[in-house]
Structure formats: structure tokens, C-alpha cells
Amino acid sequence: MNIKDNISLDNIPKHVAIIMDGNGRWAKKVGALRAFGHKNGVNTVRTTVEACVELGIKNLTLYAFSTENWNRPKLEINALMQLLVSSLEKEIDELDKQGVFINTIGEMDKLPGNCSKALSRAKAQTKNNTQLTLTLALSYSGRWDLTNAIQSIAEKVSEGALSPQEIDQEIIQEHLSTAHLHEPELLIRTSGEMRISNFLLWEIAYSEIYVTETLWPDFSKEEFFKAIIDYQNRERRFGKTSEQINP
């Protein structure tokens, strides 16, 4: 029996977010440079997108480059940015065919010019697609996003467009870069690290967390399906008791 047959199609998450971790360790394991790990990580991005399309998952958000990743050696940063450009160029037509809309969150103006241009082209080409929104978090961090949101809200308060009492959770959500995305029901992290690493801090308040020891380049479609099955077996209580949920 195919593992996918165990997935119940009436409980598919609308949004899956992934911390793609372990490319460097994977490269070390095979005796290669870190950039080779990232290159192989792109294959996993492709199969994960396919898996989402197969299941009808509407949103996939990938942590591709954090604000803190700017502190990595320049050589690795350049390799990652170059890989992003070449992968977009290579994959965009197939992604477009699959109905994928390319979206980004993060400081686009910090990315090298060829990178932001490739992203703008990809966004424009795929803007009418509705099968899956693939959000790439680039030069992104949860604290960066919350800081921006707080600044915009404070500006509205100082202009008199908003009163402090009117600030509620909805207003905060509306000012985040993820305002138009459903909150992720499932957060996956590969490579066994038990950390959030400044990813979607506000949005994952009630996300189910799935951590696997598998390194990102080895994370197969089957393992993605396993994570979905695991999610489907969770009891999501949102602070209520089990009895309230299953009367």
C-alpha cells in the first residue's frame, strides 16, 4: 500500500510551513562543499511542491534564507543567491504549469539585484495561478516582520488613524507580511533541531510541530506524506479540553 493512501483527504492542512535544515551536514556526510548540500536541497523543494499539489495543499512557506543567514561566509551567501536565481530560471515554467504562484516574504531590497529581478519575473509569470501559493521567506525573520508591523501600527496611531484601544490580534495580523496567508496548521523542521529559529513567530501560535531527523536533501515525498499523516492524528484543542472537542 502506498503511504499516500493513508492520508484522509478531508483533513488536508491549508498551509504547511517548513524550516529546511541540514543541507550543510548532508554535504559534510557525502564529503562535499556546503553549496552542494543546498543544490541537492533544491531537489527536495521540487518534490515537496509536487506533493503539495498532489494533496491539494494551498500554501507552502519555505524558510530559504533568514535575516541571521547574512552572517554566514560571503562565499556561501553568494552560492545560495546564485542557486536561487538558477533554480528559478530552470523550474519556473514547470511550476507555472503546475499552477504554482511564487510569493515572497522578507527584505527583498536586501537581495542582490539579479535575485530580486528573477523573483519579480517569477511572481509576474505566475500571478494568476491558484493551485498552490509557494512563499519563499528570504532575508526574513519573525522579529523583523513583527517590528515592521508595530512600526506601521504606531505610525497610524500617531497620525490619529487608529487608537491604541483598537489594536487587537486582527490588526496585528493585517500588518504582517503574511497577512493574506492562512496560519500554518503544520510546521515541519528537518535535521532534528528543536528550534523555531525566528521563523513565523506570530503565525505558529497554534501550529502542530513535526520534527524529523532526516536532513533536508534526503526529505522525500513519502516522508512529507508521513508528516501529513502524523498531523492528521493530532488532537488540535486550541486551549479547550479533549472532552469539549469530542463530546
- CB 239, min distance to ligand FPP, A: 33
Q: Is-contact 139 107, C-beta < 8 A?
A: yes
Nearer to ligand FPP (CB atom), residue 83 or residue 209: 83
Q: Respond yes or no: is residue 69 known to be catalytic.
A: yes
> b or e along 198-233 (b: 16 or more beta carbons within 10 Å of the residue's beta carbon)?
bbbebbbeebbebbbebbbbbbebebbbbbbeebbe
Please report whether residue 18 would count as binding ligand FPP according to CB under 6 A.
Answer: no
- CB 80, min distance to ligand FPP, A: 6
For the sheet with 15-19, list strands across it.
100-105, 132-140, 59-66, 15-19, 186-189, 208-211
Task: Report phi then psi at 76, rounded to 5.
Answer: -70, -40
The correct pick among 16, 105, 115, 136 for binding ligand FPP (CB under 6 A) is: 136
Please report whether residue 106 would count as binding ligand FPP according to CB under 6 A.
Answer: no
Nearer to ligand FPP (CB atom), residue 62 or residue 176: 62
Please report whether residue 79 would count as binding ligand FPP according to CB under 6 A.
Answer: no
- Longest CA–CA separation in the chain, Å: 62
Closest residue to ligand FPP, Cβ-based? 24
- CA atoms of 70 and 142, how far apart (whole Å): 15
- CB 191, min distance to ligand FPP, A: 6
Q: Respond yes or no: is residue 10 known to be catalytic.
A: no
The correct pick among 15, 23, 100, 181 for binding ligand FPP (CB under 6 A) is: 23
Q: Kindly name the residue from 21, 23, 59, 103 that is annotated as catalytic.
A: 21
- CA atoms of 236 and 152, how far apart (whole Å): 33
Q: Kindly name the residue from 43, 69, 71, 246 that is annotated as catalytic.
A: 69
DSSP for residue 182: P
- Residues 54-73 vs ligand FPP: string with x where CB under 6 A? --------x-x----x----
Q: Which of 120, 134, 46, 38 is nearest to 81 (CA)?
A: 38
Please report whether residue 102 would count as binding ligand FPP according to CB under 6 A.
Answer: no
Beta strands in the chain (DSSP E): 15-19, 59-66, 100-105, 132-140, 186-189, 208-211
- Residues 166-195 vs ligand FPP: string with x where CB under 6 A? -------------------------x----
The correct pick among 41, 106, 142, 184 for binding ligand FPP (CB under 6 A) is: 41
Pairing verdict, β 100-105 and 59-66: unpaired
Catalytically annotated residues: 21, 69
The binding site for ligand FPP (CB under 6 A) comprises 20-25, 38, 41-42, 45, 62, 64, 69, 83-84, 87, 136, 191, 216
